[in-house]
Amino acid sequence: MREPAFLRQNKDKWLEYERMLFEGKRSDMDPDRLAELYVQLTDDLAYARTFYPRSQVVRYLNGLAARTHLAIYRNKKDPRSRFLTFWTRELPLIYRRNHRYMLYAFLIFSFSFVLGLLGALHEEDFVRVVLGDAYVNMTLENIENGDPMGVYKRSSSFVMFVEIAFNNIRVAFNAFAMGVLLSVGTIYLLFYNGVMVGAFLTFFHTQNQLWEALPVVYIHGTLELSAIVIAGGAGFMLGNSILFPGTYTRLASVQRAAREGVKILVGLVPVFLIAAFLESYITRLTEMWLGFKLVIILVSLGFVLWYYLFYPILYARAIGTEPSAP
């Protein structure tokens, strides 16, 4: 069957799905009917993948199938089940649909990180421009006093926890919200943070304190920086929804991206709280055994890779909604 005939044959059915998912009230949805439609939709998706693998219809059906699947679970009565499915089903599918945007954010952050390293290595005043004279002078004083990471002991743990958690959540929200500027704002924020981290590490390298700083910084930085990159991916998703609305109206595309972006941010809040706790209560223990530091870093890295990368891929494949290649 040619693709135009396939579209004409199934268009009305797919529109019914859209009306149920986007216009109907969740409380009025019939889970059995949704399950029936989901089976039909996955059949159509398998057919489209086989005969039209590079068509936009495959992406469209992927998204529709994922939303149908989630709507089935949303209509369960048990609120505890709804809470669980949000973290184990809904969020992973959102991450999987937006992995390419997270990759863009990671590449931009990594590129700017390298620029920060090189800039600080080749220009003496670069670190002061990026980090500020006050911070550089304070750190130099700490190094002279034999405590190069003394910045993490500057105030009480609780005050640091509140300040850091609030600041990181604010940065993540800005990384997402600035995507409305056609992603330019998100690029700027990722670029600035990448340069700052690169310059920060190079500064400690020039002071022969890099190996002292690395394990201390990444106790909290592994989660914190990963979450900022993921929030940047949400910002690119928002910007892309404006530039390329696809089969949706531009307004519907932005609304859809905004809903998914907010869910991504909600999913990052616990990560920022844990990172803030580590930075304010654990990072300050600079003389802690290196093995404990490495365990925290590796566990944090393992969690990020599993929950935000590998698990979404495996779950999407398991339910048949793996995105097609661009």
The C-alpha torsion from 249 through 251 and 254 to 259, rounded to 10°, is: -110
Question: In angstroms, how far is CA 310 from the centroid of its own chain?
Answer: 14
What single DSSP character describes residue 323? P
What is the model's pLDDT at position 299? Answer: 97
**CB-neighbour burial class of residue 53 (10 A; exposed 0-12, middle 13-18, buried 19+):** exposed
Q: 98 and 179 in contact (C-beta within 8 Å)?
A: no
Least confident of 54-58, 173-177, 204-208, 273-277: 54-58
Cα dist from 76 to 23, 91, 211, 215, whole Å: 19, 17, 51, 45
Residues 6+ apart with CB under 8 A from 107: none
Cα dist from 219 to 131, 205, 280, 299, whole Å: 20, 18, 11, 10
Among 156, 123, 155, CA closest to 138: 155
**CB-neighbour burial class of residue 27 (10 A; exposed 0-12, middle 13-18, buried 19+):** exposed
Residues 6+ apart with CB under 8 A from 258: 238, 241
What single DSSP character describes residue 84? H
| Statement: residue 12 has pLDDT above 90 | no
Sign of CA dihedral 232, 236, 239, 245: negative
Using pLDDT thresholds of 50, 70 and 90, give the confidence band for residue 133: very high
For residue 21, how many other CB atoms are within 10 A of its CB?
17
Q: What is the mean pLDDT of residues 277-291?
A: 89
Largest CA distance in the chain: 77
The model's pTM is 0.77
Q: What is the mean pLDDT of residues 90-96?
A: 93
**CB-neighbour burial class of residue 32 (10 A; exposed 0-12, middle 13-18, buried 19+):** exposed
User: What angle in degrees, to the nearest 10, is found between the helix axes of 210-243 and 290-305?
Assistant: 10
Using pLDDT thresholds of 50, 70 and 90, give the confidence band for residue 65: confident
Least confident of 65-74, 125-134, 281-290, 315-324: 65-74
Q: What is the mean pLDDT of residues 114-137?
A: 92
What is the model's pLDDT at position 307? Answer: 97
61-88 b/e (C-beta count within 10 Å ≥ 16 → b): bbbbbbbbbbbbbbbeeeeeeeeebbee
Least confident of 13-17, 107-111, 298-302: 13-17
Q: 203 and 139 in contact (C-beta within 8 Å)?
A: yes
Among 202, 222, 221, CA closest to 131: 202
